[in-house]
Amino acid sequence: MSKKVLIIGAGPAGYPAALRLKELGAEPTIVESWDFGGTCLNRGCIPSKSLLDAGYRVHSVETLKSLTAEGKTLDFTPDMLAWDRIKARRAAAVTKLRTSLEKLFELKKIEVARGKAAFTGANVATIAKAAGPVTKAFDCAIIAAGTRPAFPPPFDAVKALLTDSDRVFDLPKLPGSVIVVGAGAIGLEFACFFNSMGAEVSVVELLPDILAGEDALVARAIKTSFEKRGIRFYLGKKTAAVETSGGLKTLVLEDGSRISAEEILVGAGRAADLSALGLEKIGLDWDRKGVKVDAYMRTTVKNIYAAGDINGISGLAHSASRQGEIAAENIMGASRTFDENLAPRCIYTWPEAASVGLNKARAEAKGLAVKVSRAYFLGIGKAVTHGETEGFVQLVYDAADETILGAQIAGAAATELIHVLAAAVTFKLKRTDMRELIYAHPTMAEAIYEALRK
């Protein structure tokens, strides 16, 4: 008799879990109260990349301006773009992908229940549907309910007056000036976009540097590039209050300084959405970071698993998908574990940034002796011909046998190049192994080869 598995949430953790369970012969039911695809597809990864693509095309116009014939001008400015059309392009991409996903579930004959699910016991949940509540029994369950934007104090008291990474797509017009709170991936991507649209952008960060946890050289490369384009940084600054007056919104910092703009976007992370799941009724252990799980994605209730942002491990969509698949396979008898170290971390600004595995600081904190090599795009043929010479590829090796422990990239195509090095980290390849590859010329990937030769 096949296992009945209830999956709460149809985002990047939930829907891959459902598909894998179906492949393995289970009877999955996926419950979703919102749009299929979750935050990533509808309000996160996909729509933000549509905006960033529009911004990068504007950014690229500067190159075309330098190539115009003598006496000719390319009179293009960002204010010539229609915000409504940018939003419509984003919406069309989201709708196309969501529709394809829904059709895939129809094709696979996977049961989809529309409504909110809450546990009433270790093997039963209630689904609040529009027509009334429905009781659903299950053998195992996967919680994949995702997260929502976090508003730390003092922003929580005025969050209705501010925007965030979910609601930014609903702004009625492009602001002429923006304060971005938070210098992580979310904050920097939106800072990059609004700057490309001609807005004055200020980034306020509580920590002393941007991109906490990433390599210091990567952070420096991104910050330097942003500052050249006019983005201002206020690092190590804590906000004491938020004020609104005369169409402007103002941050009052603890040092007494004030920063004003037409819009404030709070990109200070996300919080697990644990509301109304009925976790207290089944004795499941959780805290402010999310639902507690082991390496197998199993919660403190043996037949219930949690995958994706809701367990607080990673916060990346591709990590969520792998966790969902791992949970599915373990429900069906496997013993797979999730290694956060193997998941590429990507930032889609320009220049891009990406990393995988350990950087030098993290490796040394683990007591490892390491060596580092680095190659700059400034000496790479394709980078020079494309005018994309910012950044570098950096490799971290075990000092004894030169096993590749990690990699960091800042520069054009970083989010694509990182997968070559993710394979190296995953399969514990050595420097000599990676040098055996033939790297096509001219490509940005030649920077990897040059770093290997250093």
Element (H, E) at 19: helix 14-23
First to last CA, the chain: 58
User: What secondary structure does DSSP assign to 317-377, as a single string?
Assistant: HHHHHHHHHHHHHHHTT------GGGS-EEE-SSS-EEEEE--HHHHHHTT--EEEEEEEG
CA distance 195 to 202: 9
Q: In Å, what is the CA distance from 79 to each residue of 97, 170, 196, 286?
A: 29, 18, 10, 47
Which token pair is 318?
A: 């591709």
Q: Where are the alpha helices (DSSP H) in 83-147?
A: 83-107
With b for 16 or more beta-carbon neighbours within 10 A and e for fewer, the 75-92 pattern comes to: eeebeebeeeebbeebee
Q: Are 316 and 376 in contact (CB under 8 A)?
A: no
Which token pair is 337?
A: 């574990």
Which token pair is 362?
A: 């993290």
Indicate the SS3 state at residue 164: strand
Which token pair is 308?
A: 């994706």
User: What secondary structure does DSSP assign to 217-248, as a single string?
Assistant: HHHHHHHHHHHHTT-EEEET--EEEEEEETTE
Q: Where are the alpha helices (DSSP H) in 26-149?
A: 38-42, 45-65, 83-107
Note if 59 is an active site residue.
no
Active site residues: 441
